Amino acid sequence: MEQKQRYTLGKTERLKSRKQIEQLFKEGETFSVSPLRVYYSFDAELKKNELTSLLQFGVGVSTRIFKKAVDRNRIKRLLREGYRLQKNELKEKVMQKKIQLNLFIIYTGRELPSYDVIFEKLTVALQKVVNIADELTEANS
């Protein structure tokens, strides 16, 4: 019996811990898919804390470029929505390999994007993270 995929972005899937975010920026890897900058870090040993999800995600937009909170919030909403609809492949990969992944995406463009642009670029970025996860686990095997 096939399980129906759910497209949710729950509380445990959000990257909110200041400590985790600082560690991600300090020690994590990064790449760009213009206009997105993606920070990620894999953690092979699972923590015993059941509250944290294997896949945690956060978004950010520059205050310097987008002065109005309305614009920043709209971009963050678009990023979260695009991620929510496309994360299932990444989530399956992480659960299958039993590794924790922290992911943070920053919008670096200078103009308000359309949903289509965000969705398309997020697709490329998430696929790249999936490929990196594959390479990482093959190297450890």
Residues 6 or more apart whose CB falls under 8 angstroms from that of 46 comprise 54, 98, 99, 100
Residue 97, pLDDT score: 82
- How large is the average pLDDT for residues 11-40? 93
Inter-CA distances, 25 with 22, 38, 112, 121, 131, Å: 5, 10, 25, 21, 21
Q: Does any domain span residue 2? A: no
| Pairwise CA distance, residues 46 & 52, whole Å | 10
Q: What is the pLDDT of residues 69-107, one digit of tens each?
A: 999 999 999 999 999 999 998 888 888 888 889 999 999
Residue 1, pLDDT score: 45
Residues 6 or more apart whose CB falls under 8 angstroms from that of 95 comprise 54
| Pairwise CA distance, residues 108 & 11, whole Å | 25
Pairing status of strand 29-33 against strand 36-43: antiparallel
For residue 123, give its domain range.
Answer: 16-140
- How large is the average pLDDT for residues 126-137? 88
Q: Does any domain span residue 1? A: no
Q: Does any domain span residue 56? A: yes
CATH of residue 94's domain is 3.30.230.10
| Pairwise CA distance, residues 114 & 117, whole Å | 5
| pLDDT exceeds 50 at position 66 | yes
**Number of compact structural domains in the chain:** 1
Q: Does any domain span residue 5? A: no
| Pairwise CA distance, residues 92 & 57, whole Å | 15
